Amino acid sequence: MGMGAAAIEWRYSNGLVPYDEAVAEMEQRVAAIRAGEAPELVWLLEHPPLYTAGTSARPEDLLDPQRLPVYRSGRGGQHTYHGPGQRIAYVLLDLDKPERGRDVRCHVWRLEEWIIATLRRFNVKGERREGRIGVWVVGRDGREDKIAAIGVRVRHWVSYHGAALNVDPDLEHFRGIVPCGIDPGLSGHGVTSLAAIGVTASMSEVDIALRATSEEVFAGPVCAG
């Protein structure tokens, strides 16, 4: 079944959900999914302004430790920013199901494909780049900026964490870190949002697009990851 199937719960949280509370709830849900006591879950929410440090985070990439709270995260990846105006999609799926397969790389590919399909609904071309996980957009000047980050963790073949799409966050907060280990000053790549590229979209419109595109991306085993 795809992500739009009735067997998967979709949750939409209003307000700002504290990061540690979200992680604790995800871990409880992962155990329940594994035990067959709860359905899979897609949870759409926003966090208060904060930084997370993934399992590959380098201390020197935290440029301004006093700027915002920093949380160690068990997800893959390096430092990233979460805050209001960014749609977080926590995706808790049983990768042990035959239609999904025990393939973490494929799961990451599908998350990227999901964001790309969602951006297409707003006439935005999202793209992948070799060696850079996430979704990127190319500006008129040819500069490539990241519009969505991907970070996942898998426990007993149940996935959690997921994707973060920049709708209209405060991009200045990204200056406190080297986002995902890619230094804008050295690479020429930055971070952007739908609002920054001139696309006006409400969070509810983004949620509708995310749900509408989920089925086409997660319906079967096909994966180019």
Catalytic residue among 119, 180, 182, 201: 180
Whose structure tokens read 């073949």?
Answer: 157
CA atoms within 13 A on the CB side of 129: 17
Do 81 and 174 meet the contact criterion of CB atoms below 8 Å apart? yes
Do 150 and 163 meet the contact criterion of CB atoms below 8 Å apart? yes
Other residues' Cβ atoms within 10 Å of the Cβ of residue 173: 19
Per the annotation, the verdict on 106 as an active-site residue is no
Residues 6+ apart with CB under 8 A from 85: 46, 166, 167, 168, 169, 170, 193, 195
Do 176 and 81 meet the contact criterion of CB atoms below 8 Å apart? yes
As a whole number of angstroms, the distance between CA 153 and CA 151 comes to 7
Residues with catalytic roles = 180
